[in-house]
């Protein structure tokens, strides 16, 4: 064996060792890629049912929102009807009720004024009668002034 053959043999062995050393990270990288492929498969298997559940939830939520929209429209119609009914009631009965209240107040006031006028008339009549009957006696004056202190 010549020096060139030994050098070629050493170079070949070094090349085999180099390939062997590079193969170890490649094998580990292959294992990592297998784990990644398995993880992606698992994620896909778990994600598809989750997406289906989310879709079902969105469909149910949209259905409930449609019902809420219908309820809101009905409440709006009822509010409009109550407002119209209130306006109709105020227009139909409001004016007569105000007139009746004003009339009743006027009657009460007239009766009160008449009673007051009757009381005043009676007081004036009594005062006139006392003046016409003459002067009061001395005992009457003392009683009218009150007790002396």
Give the tens place of pLDDT for each residue, 69-108: 999 999 999 999 999 888 887 777 767 777 788 888 888 8
Q: What is the pLDDT of residue 101?
A: 81
**Model pTM score:** 0.39
**The two structure tokens encoding residue 97:** 């009720």
Give the tens place of pLDDT for each residue, 29-52: 999 999 999 999 888 888 888 899
Is residue 134 scored above 80 in pLDDT? no
Is residue 145 scored above 80 in pLDDT? no
Q: What is the pLDDT of residue 138?
A: 44
Give the tens place of pLDDT for each residue, 8-28: 899 999 999 999 898 998 899
Cβ–Cβ < 8 Å for 148, 139: no
Tell me the average pLDDT of the chain.
Answer: 84
Residue with tokens 């085999």: 16
**Residue 149: which pLDDT band, with cuts at 50, 70 and 90?**
very low
Secondary structure of residue 42 in the 3-state scheme = helix
Rounded CA separation 97/90 (Å)? 9
Q: What is the pLDDT of residue 108?
A: 86
């Amino acid at each position: 064996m010549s020096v060139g053959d030994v050098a070629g043999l050493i170079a070949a062995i070094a090349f085999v060792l180099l390939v062997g050393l590079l193969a170890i990270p490649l094998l580990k990288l292959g294992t990592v890629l297998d784990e990644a492929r398995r993880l992606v498969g698992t994620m896909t298997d778990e994600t598809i049912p989750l997406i289906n559940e989310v879709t079902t939830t969105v469909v149910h939520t949209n259905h409930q929102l449609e019902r809420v929209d219908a309820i809101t429209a009905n409440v709006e119609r009822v509010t409009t009807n109550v407002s119209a009914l209130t306006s109709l009631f105020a227009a139909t009965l409001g004016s007569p009720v105000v007139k009746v209240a004003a009339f009743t107040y006027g009657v009460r006031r007239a009766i009160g004024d008449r009673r007051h006028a009757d009381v005043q008339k009676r007081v004036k009549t009594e005062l006139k009668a006392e003046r016409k009957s003459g002067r009061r006696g001395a005992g009457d004056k003392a009683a009218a002034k009150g007790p002396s202190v």
